[in-house]
């Protein structure tokens, strides 16, 4: 006769009454100790979380504070380089000596500052350009390299008013240099055509030069914003390339038309103004898209309006 094995006894989970009984059996001192440990944990966890955020803020603030002196010295270096170029005699020699001293000190300072590798590289390039372009006709190249070094210092210093440095460059391009270019474009559009310019031709040429300079600065900041992103918004990148193509052709056409004095020159002038204006409008539309139209854009920037966050929105607003 075969006997089946007896079922193994299963351990029943402790009932709430058993836990209550165990708690009641504990001594008062042990109960108070356990309550104290739980209360201490409730205090320590928020403090640790807050300390982490505070340390991060302190690190950013320290990086900003230590960059004030190099930035100030860089501005002084640019001033002294300009003075050495435009002054003469002892004044020029003194300015050149100050510029050399400031450049050496900046190189020594940034070499000891973690996170300022781009600044160090730009300053080394400035030093090489300064030595190679000592002649008067080389000052333009030196000045360009000096402002590139200032750009690098500004980026590495994290002295920006938005959480992301690419946001800073987009704000500068959109809210400073784009309006400057638009203002010059509006003045040219409201002025007389080249065939009727007569004595105002010099004013038109000055405004055209201002428009070209503002557009170069606008493109510089916009290119930096997109270059700092791992995955730029494809729509913005396409719009930027299209705007550059149209703007380059329009500015060249404006320069050619300004030298003319017939009806064809006027037609070319007005067509170029319209083309440039439409290109800038399309570019602005791609940079400033409402949340309702594109709630999930890939442009990784904080949702801001004039530097302030927009609740419930992850896209860029101007």
Q: Which residues contact 229 (CB under 8 A, 6 or more apart)?
A: 166, 299, 300
- Residue in the block written with tokens 């501005």: 75
pTM, two decimals, is: 0.53
Instruction: Give the domain ranges of the chain.
Output: 41-157, 165-309
d(CA 301, CA 315): 7
What are φ and ψ of residue 308, in 5° steps? -110, 145
What are φ and ψ of residue 5, in 5° steps? -65, 145
Class of domain 165-309: mainly alpha
Comparing 41-157 with 165-309, is the CATH topology the same? yes
Residues shown for the chain: 318
Tokens of 26: 């504990």
- Residue in the block written with tokens 């435009």: 86
3-state helix, strand, coil in the chain (%, to 5): 75, 0, 25
d(CA 63, CA 40): 34
Contact call for residues 195 and 261 (beta carbons, < 8 A): yes
DSSP label at residue 74 = H
CATH number of 41-157: 1.20.120
pLDDT tens-place values along the chain, 318 residues long:
455 555 555 555 555 555 566 666 667 777 777 777 877 777 777 777 767 666 666 555 666 667 778 888 888 888 888 888 878 888 888 988 999 999 999 999 999 888 889 899 999 999 888 877 655 457 777 888 888 888 888 888 766 555 566 677 777 887 778 888 888 888 888 888 888 877 778 888 888 888 888 888 888 888 888 887 777 678 778 888 888 888 889 889 888 888 877 788 888 888 888 888 888 887 777 665 543 333 333 333 333 333 333 333 333 333
């Amino acid at each position: 006769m075969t006997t089946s094995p007896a079922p193994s006894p299963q351990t029943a989970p402790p009932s709430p009454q058993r836990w209550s009984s165990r708690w009641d059996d504990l001594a008062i001192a042990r109960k108070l100790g356990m309550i104290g440990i739980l209360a201490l944990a409730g205090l320590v966890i928020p403090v640790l979380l807050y300390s982490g955020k505070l340390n991060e803020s302190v690190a950013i603030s320290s990086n900003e504070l230590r960059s004030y002196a190099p930035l100030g010295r860089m501005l002084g270096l640019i001033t002294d380089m300009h003075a050495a170029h435009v002054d003469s005699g002892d004044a020029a020699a003194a300015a050149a000596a100050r510029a050399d001293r400031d450049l050496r000190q900046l190189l020594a300072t940034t070499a000891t500052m973690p996170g300022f590798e781009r600044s160090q590289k730009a300053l080394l390039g400035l030093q090489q350009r300064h030595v190679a372009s000592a002649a008067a006709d080389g000052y333009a190249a030196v000045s360009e390299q000096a402002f590139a070094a200032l750009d690098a210092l500004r980026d590495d210093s994290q002295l920006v008013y938005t959480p992301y440095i690419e946001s800073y460059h987009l704000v500068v391009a959109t809210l400073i240099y784009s309006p400057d270019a638009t203002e010059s474009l509006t003045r040219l559009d409201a002025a007389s055509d080249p065939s009727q310019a007569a004595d105002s031709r010099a004013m038109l040429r000055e405004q055209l030069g201002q428009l070209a300079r503002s557009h170069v600065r606008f493109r510089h900041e916009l290119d930096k914003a997109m270059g700092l992103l791992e995955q730029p918004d494809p729509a913005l990148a396409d719009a930027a390339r299209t705007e550059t193509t149209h703007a380059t052709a329009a500015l060249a056409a404006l320069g050619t038309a300004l030298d003319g004095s017939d009806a064809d020159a006027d037609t070319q002038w007005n067509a170029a103004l319209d083309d440039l204006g439409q290109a800038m409008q399309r570019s602005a539309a791609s940079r400033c898209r409402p949340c309702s139209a594109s709630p999930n854009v890939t442009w990784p920037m904080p949702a801001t309006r004039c530097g302030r966050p927009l609740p419930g929105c992850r896209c860029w607003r101007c």
